[in-house]
Structure 1
Amino acid sequence: MKCFLCKSDHGSPNNLVKHFKVIHGLCTGRTLFLKCGQEGCSRSFGSFSGLRKHLNKCHGSSLVDSVESDLSYPQSTINTSNVFHVEESTEELEAESQLSSPYIVNSCSAVISDLKAAGVAQSTLNSVVTSMEEIVQDIHQHAKETVIKHVFSNERETEMCKKVEACFEGLENPFTILNSEYKRSKFMTDKWEMVEPIECVIGSRFDTRRNKKTGTYDQVVVQDKFMYIPILSTLQSIFKSPYVAEMLQRSATSDSRLRDICDGSFFKSHPLFSTEKQTIQIQMFYDDFEVANPLGPKRGIHKLGGVYFTLRNFSPKWNSFLANIHLCALFHAQDVKRYGFSEIFAPIVRDIKVLESDGIEIPLYNGFVRGTVVQVTGDNLGLHCLFGLVESFSARYCCRFCLAEKEDFQTEFSEDSSKIVLRTKDVHTAHCQEMACNPSLPYVFGVKRSCILNSLEYFHTTENFSVDVMHDVLEGVGQYELKLLFLYLKEKHVTSAEIHSRIQSFDYGFMERNNRPVAVNLSEGSNDLGLNASQSWCLLRNVPLIFGDLFTSTDQHWSLLLLLLQIINIIFSPMLSQGLCVYLKHLIVDHHTLFKKLYPQKNLLPKHHFLVHYPRCIQKIGPVLHSWCMRYEGKHNFFKKQLKSFKNITKTLAKKHQFHMAHSWRNSTTFSRFDIGPGKMVSLNMVKGGSGIAMAMQVPISIQVMKVNWAKHNGFVYRPNLVICGKVESEVPVFYQIESVLIMFEKLLLLTVPLVTVTFQEHFHAYEVIKSKQDYVFFHVDNLHYPRPFDIQMSYGGNDTTLLIVPYCFLW
């Protein structure tokens, strides 16, 4: 092997590459230029790996020193960075993958997937992979030379030396089969069963484009496209996962409480779900999101619409994982205005009709399983747009559940009212037919057009009971009423500066450290406080502690807040009874009535009216917390941080998402149920209360356990001094303060000290507790009555040392 610079001879391609790096100081980059230098060959390269492959293939048949020689090298094409990329055949890629260690290659592909998910640009990723390939190759060569030199220094021709050399030569560089976008995509499709997105044409239109040759502007035909991820293929991929069996498990219950959608009356009377034991229950979500800088000049131009789905077959704790939220379609939001939803949802509806009639084969169920859309969720505007209803909430009929007029929202606070007539299939069909007969009508009872989803056999928009507590309550009713309360405070008790000071200086505790509101907007021009949903929830829960000392128990403005908090606690409960649904119905009537009494000049928002339908929706589909938008909107963050180029962004983002999902569903840590912080191994007899654990679990007191500073289980962080709700006795929650967090037999145990629940202080909307001297009690996290931990707090000011626990929901 000759060097094209100094014409020196070298025994192998690896030695020649090492010569370039050490003697001539050549390194990877845009200026790297390498010539083959062998007799009769004029090929040139922009990377060491490209040159090495060429030498092994074309000039090193007798000096095979790299497993990369198995690659064919067709005609190369050069890119802007002078790095050559090759298109490999399927057979050669399969041969490469067979040479590689699956564990090592999977580890390397996981690193690449994490980099892609973090939004690393394609050029940067190629550079990192190429560098890692070179590093691994150098380590491999150095290890080989060191072993040969020290073990076989005088016996180079022995049979054992040849076997060692052959062993090194048989080692495959794990980055070789991942060093191009083509190879990575092929690997994901074959090994991780990546579901490839399909590019679909919505329609054509004329657009003005500048002609670069003439400098003039011409009218050209543009095809608008969107990306569709086949829902049937995604479902088949999901049910092949080894984690599915555990996700499908549900704890047996004998009571009539509402825990999930399968406990609601809608599911029990559904013509498909109630008759077939094994079905696929798809919950869809639609929303628009901005991928460009919201303050930049491209705002709105690159706004995308996304359709996601989850499987309600899985319990809510599993559906909270972002990996369980699957992409179904990705399109430009502007295309909805041009063509409507029919073209975009056409392939989705086509596949779901196949699922409804024929089903898909699932080995887990030993046969074909049918399914359909069980619910569609989203914010109010998105659902109205998708369902073909009016998109203005100032319209006369702006409720998707009933035919009440806008003026009736201020007087009718219960579905029992004669003025609140619920929408039905027949009534909705009649409205759609009237619109079809007379297209000049703006709308008929709020209906503008038919929805393509209504063509499904087992779904209809009038039987969609999903509501969004995030937008209705946390970003709507809650902030609206808090602002009115603060304005009342400002008028009667304190200054605006004092309100801000109390909010900013209050100790919200460890659990709310990231959600504490920084500032609130008290200007008269809007109905909100300028907070996001998490900050709003944090402030709503803690307002009684922050401002409770300024109000008397007879102040009706304070009573209005407490009524709202009772409503929120029931709505946010993961488990409800039929009795609570009836109680919620009366609470809403009392709240709305008191609001109109205190603020006769203020109108109830449309979101106040939507609350009227919440009790029926809960009875139909169970806790509405399981269908809110919070987790779905968290999925938007993946797309927002990925984009580096705005050319064909839907295709780019869809491919990146599917790449990441393929990795996530094959990664054993994606659905890990708990994560732990720093800790140490200790004997159980060295832990306070360890004897009780040893006796209950029937293990020796000398057994070693891990004591950690914190542990995260199903999204909740447990650490010493936090409080858990272990059980409920006589409709009173029993709280326990965490003393130690232990890992034993791969189980998360909480060693706690019982607290005494004195009473529920209604004025502060919190439970008063005192510390007890009872013996230690330990819990497994799966056996807690309510999994979310609490902080022990005190009211504002410091004069009152009463210990208080603010609930997140209704606890009994």
Structure 2
Amino acid sequence: MFVCFKCLASVEDYNDFCKHLKDHHNLSANATYRCKQYQCDREYQNVRSFRRHLISQHLNTQTIFDTDCTTNDCTLSENIPDTCSLLDPCESFEYHPLNNVCRENALDTAHSMLEKSAATLALSLFSDSGVNRKTALKILENIQLHITQVLGDIFKHVMPIYNEFSQSEIDNIHKLISNPFGNLRTEYKIIKYFTDINCYIAPEKYIINENVADNTVNTSVMLAPKSCTGAKLPLRSLFKKIFELPYTNTLPNEVNFPNFAHSLIWQKKIASKEGKLCCPFFIYFDDFECNNPLGSHAGVHSISAVYYQFPTMPQEYLSQLDNVFVAMLYNSSFKIYGNHSAFYELIKELTYLEEEGIDINTENGKVKIYFILGMILGDNLGLNTILGFSKSFSSNYYCRICKSHKSIMTKQTKADNALLRDQDNYANDIDQNNVTETGISEYCCFNDIPSFHVVDNCCVDIMHDIFEGVCHYDLAHIILYYTEIHYFDLVTLNNRLKLFDYSVTELNNKSVCIKQEHLIRSKFKMSASEMLTFVHLFPLLVGDLVPSDDPVWQFLTILLKIIQIISCSVVDAPTVKLLESLITEHHENYINLFNDTLKPKHHLMLHYPHIIEQVGPLKQLWCMRFEAKHKTLKNTAHIITSRKNISLTLLMKEQLAFANRLFVKKGLESRVELGKVIVRESRVDISHINDTSNQDVDLTCDFQWIRFKGTKYNPGMIIVTTNEDDFFFSN
């Protein structure tokens, strides 16, 4: 008995099996053939290979099902002709569906075949070096959810009326089931399909510079023209697609929490846009390494990336990487051609969005929105690079916010607002054209955007300034001081660090052990998120070993107060004044207690109060989530072996992910995740949470953890909630 791989029909005779494949499925000589004989699942790309396999492996040892048998036993067919052509069958046959041939054996065989195929697929995914185990599981889950479950539903509705279908209708059903992907079997067809339904927006190449490079032609090396290109996305098309997704509270006149749309700088930008609906957006610039940073090709294919984000989006969604979008990518080595060459296409697009706007389809009809660049974000080096300031932080005037000299900055504890950069002194510095005396290396190309001027771009990054800068300097001095006077040693600190129960706090980035060389170099082996956790937990780790009136301990409490204020999502005017005095006190104590000079990142802290007054809370300007976006592109680059135009390849992958979001119409979904059930029929008093009820509420279960709006809550955590002047503590 031969089993058809297309419809799973059982055909007793070899010649009849050949005729079945040709007549019922119209298979060509170059079609793909799969062997479905007993315990065999090989695949062949043409009929000749398939025929040789059948003759050599199954012709004399074919397990068949006897159509006349009344038991579940199977008989072995022998003496089958050893010469016949699969392309030229010689006899007719009678069609036997699998469920009509020895029913129980047929179902067992079908189950065995399916189980084997599923195991083969799972093993092939888990053994693929380019697919990690988590991704393999996700692929299997998606196949079950979007393919096999749908096929099961089709069978459930079709089988009761199967006998009513004509042969052509049955063939169409078999064709659908055997080839569910249809025309989506190649990358070209997938991209074409999603392009035709307006989900995929292709990235575009643009020329940064034309030069001459060596080229090999017919074994001869010669000089030939070569274009240095970057890859960009059409922002006006993307903005339209993003704002037509099912969002809520995305427009600036609908926001219900303080954000950039309430800042003084934004009001200044839209002063001339009266009567127009304007929406701000941020762009972010930074470099990332797509190769092994320790390998021989490190830096060769380093990528400069430009991302964008909408600060008026509901606050709990701003941290999601899906809501950090890519605008353009290019090779970092192309910076030598200047910022204008790299960003001229982006500037042209941003100018169009501000002056012309785009029409957005809403439930109430079309609305024209004008998108205005609010801020350019980045770390200190990235911002100084693309904004045209000095890239050396040992230069005389490295600050992009004020014109203080470096000799003053090393001991400056209060900001001098008279030295702030403005459009007048900026123009004078450009005319002077002396980076040593002005700190400006070139005119900022983004000033060509109508509402933007670089001196108004008061941007700082607390991730790099505080958690990768000041905290390292301060804690290194603090720990050295306490170990030298023997309040505790590094062994004690590291033991407490390792044994601390991180599950009782939302800060779950466990820090590594601290070594003496870290303290000497004032640089811990910690990421920004790990330092954020460490600096908050440090008082809990050693607080019982240090007197509360110790001056260095008081210095630590000042640092923690500063971190608490700059991490807030809402900061009022009195708090800004408090922050200003705390920073001054912090800097004075740093100089006096540790006999050390202030670093450039200490100086940038002096501008924090002024920037909060102009822009709003500093947390909306930090680079933490943009840096996390790098990981998505790095992961893609690591599984791609080719580096030819890697920028375009990464953008294609990013756009395929965005096409999936458009296809399923994924907007801003609920951010509530529940862990495993751990207790049944638990009774919990939540009257303090629900203002409309003062009664106990019966819950059907407790959960191992709950993640709400990105924060994970574990059993044992203490949560503080407020109701006017009353505080409630829940454990």
Q: 1:399 — aligned with what? A: 399
Write the distance in 2 (CA, Å) between the matches of 1:192 and 1:514. Answer: 41
Match of 1:299 in 2: 298
CA offset digits 1:613-659 (Å, max 9, x no partner): 00011111111101110001111111111121222211110000011
Residues 284, 377 of structure 2: 8 Å contact kept: yes
Please state how far the C-alpha of 1:502 moved relative to its aligned partner. 3.3
Aligned to 1:9, the other structure's residue is in SS state: helix
Cα deviation, 1:638-694, whole Å, max 9, x if unaligned, reads 1111121222211110000011122134446674321222239977xx623378999
Residue 609 of structure 2, aligned match among 608, 611, 615: 615
Is residue 184 from structure 1 mapped to residue 190 from structure 2 by the alignment?
Answer: yes
Find the counterpart in structure 1 of residue 283 from structure 2: 284
What SS does the aligned partner of 1:269 have?
helix
C-alpha contact 2:205 2:230 (8 A) present in aligned 1: yes
Contact 1:415 1:612 (8 Å CA) reproduced = yes
- Residues 304, 332 of structure 1: 8 Å contact kept: yes
* Whole-Å separation in 2 of the counterparts to 1:36 and 1:144: 33
SS at match of 2:419: coil
Code of the aligned partner of 1:343: S
Distance 2:538 2:412 in 1: 29
Contact 1:483 1:522 in 2 (8 A): no
Distance 1:692 1:576 in 2: 26
Which ranges in structure 2 are unaligned for 5 or more consecutive residues? 5-10, 52-94, 96-124
- 1:9 and 2:19 aligned: yes
- 1:511 matched residue in structure 2: 505
Question: Separation in 2 of the partners of 1:145 and 1:492?
Answer: 77
Q: Which moved more, 1:635-644 or 1:16-25?
A: 16-25
1:329/1:356 CA distance change after superposition, 3 Å: same
What is the Cα deviation at residue 710 of structure 1? Answer: 2.5
Q: What SS does the corresponding residue of 2:512 show, helix, strand or coil?
A: coil
SS at match of 1:366: strand
Q: Pick from 557, 569, 578: which aligns with 2:564?
A: 569
Provide Cα deviations, 1:368-402, integer angstroms capped at 9, x if missing partner. 22221100110000000010000010011010100
- Superposed, 1:392-791 pairs within 5 Å as 392-416=392-416, 421-435=419-433, 441-493=434-486, 494-511=488-505, 514-523=508-517, 526-600=521-595, 602-643=596-637, 644=640, 645-667=642-664, 671-672=668-669, 673-679=671-677, 687-689=683-685, 696=692, 707-727=702-722, 730=725, 734-738=727-731
- 1:373 aligns to 2:373 (yes or no): yes
Preserved contact between residue 238 and residue 244 of structure 1 (Cα < 8 Å): no
Q: Which AA in structure 1 matches 2:235?
A: I
For the 8 Å contact 2:678–2:703, the answer to whether it is kept is yes
The Cα of 1:273 is off from its aligned counterpart by 7.9
Shift of the alpha carbon at 1:473? 0.1
* 8 Å CA contact 1:132, 1:175 repeated in 2: no
Residue matched to 1:270: 269
How far is 1:363 from its partner?
Answer: 2.4
Q: How many residues align?
A: 628
What aligned pairs does 1:333-348 form with structure 2 within 5 A after superposition? 333-337=332-336, 339-348=337-346
Give the 3-state SS of the residue equivalent to 1:363 in structure 2.
strand
- 1:392 is aligned with what amino acid? S
Tell me what 2:234 maps to: 230
Contact 1:309–1:327 at 8 Å: present in 2 too?
yes
Q: Which amino acid aligns with 1:687?
A: R
**Are 2:32 and 2:46, in contact at CA under 8 Å, matched by a contact in 1?**
no
CA distance in 2 between counterparts of 1:559 and 1:423 reads 34
Paired residue type of 1:454: N
Relative distance call for 1:531 and 1:736 in structure 2 (3 A) is: same
Q: What's the counterpart of residue 196 of structure 1?
A: 202
Classify 1:452/1:15 alpha carbon distance in 2 versus 1 (closer, same or farther; 3 Å).
Answer: closer
Displacement of 1:550: 3.0
- Structure 1 residue 426 displacement after superposition: 1.8
Q: Is the 8 A contact 1:267 1:273 kept in 2?
A: no
Verify the 8 A CA contact 2:285 2:382 in the aligned structure 1: yes
CA distance in 2, matches of 1:249, 1:677: 37
Give, as a single letter, the amino acid of the residue that structure 2 aligns with 1:396: N
**Alignment partner for residue 47 of structure 2, among 34, 37, 48?**
34
Identity of aligned residues (%): 26
1:221 is aligned to 225
The answer to whether 1:241 aligns with 2:245 is yes
- CA–CA separation in structure 2 for the residues paired with 1:727 and 1:498: 37
In structure 2, what is the equivalent of residue 21 of structure 1? 35
Aligned partner letter, 1:34: V
Partner residue of 1:362 out of 345, 360, 363: 360
SS in structure 2 at match of 1:449: coil
**Change in 2 beyond 3 A, CA 1:345/1:724:** same
**In 2, Cα distance between the equivalents of 1:594 and 1:695?**
46
Structure 2 residue identity aligned to 1:165: I
Match of 1:331 in 2: 330
Offset at residue 580 of structure 1 (A): 0.3
Change (3 A) 1:700 1:278: same
CA drift of 1:350 comes to 0.7
1:717 CA displacement = 1.5
Select the structure of larger CA radius of gyration.
2
Change (3 A) 1:192 1:519: farther
Q: Distance in 2 between matches of 1:229 and 1:476?
A: 34
Report the alpha carbon displacement of residue 512 of structure 1 after superposing the two structures with TM: 5.2
State the match for 2:319 in structure 1: 320
**Given that residues 388 and 450 in structure 1 are in contact (C-alpha distance below 8 angstroms), is that contact kept between their aligned partners in structure 2?**
yes
Structure with bigger helix share is 2
Using the TM superposition, give the Cα deviation of residue 169 of structure 1 relative to its aligned residue in structure 2, in angstroms.
Answer: 6.1
**Counterpart residue identity of residue 212, structure 2:** F
- Per the normalisation by structure 1, the TM-score is 0.69
User: CA offset at residue 701 of structure 1?
Assistant: 7.1
Amino acid at match of 1:325: V
Distance in 2 (CA, whole Å) between partners of 1:360 and 1:516 is: 46
Label 1:443 to 1:233 Cα distance change in 2 as closer, same or farther (>3 A).
farther
Between the aligned partners of 1:142 and 1:696, the Cα distance in structure 2 is 43
CA offset at residue 465 of structure 1? 1.7
Structure 1 equivalent of residue 170 of structure 2: 165
User: Given residue 655 of structure 1, which amino acid in structure 2 is its aligned partner?
Assistant: M
What secondary structure sits across from 2:715 in the alignment?
Answer: coil
- Residue identity in the other structure for 1:219: L
Change beyond 3 A, Cα 1:24–1:533: same
* Letter of the structure 2 residue corresponding to residue 624 of structure 1: L
Residue equivalent to 1:206: 212
Could you tell me whether the CA contact under 8 Å between 2:490 and 2:514 is conserved in 1? no
Change (3 A) 1:251 1:724: farther
Letter in 1 for 2:505: M
TM-score by length of 2: 0.77
1:8-157 superposed matches below 5 A: 8-10=18-20, 11-13=23-25, 20-23=34-37, 32-34=45-47
CA deviation digits over 1:488-510, x for unaligned, max 9? 12211143333333333333444
Instruction: Please say if residues 521 and 530 of structure 1, whose CA atoms lie closer than 8 Å, have aligned partners that are also in contact.
Output: no
Distance in 1 between residues matched to 2:333 and 2:32, nearest whole Å: 54
The corresponding residue for 1:801 is none
Quote the offset at 1:311 in angstroms.
Answer: 1.1
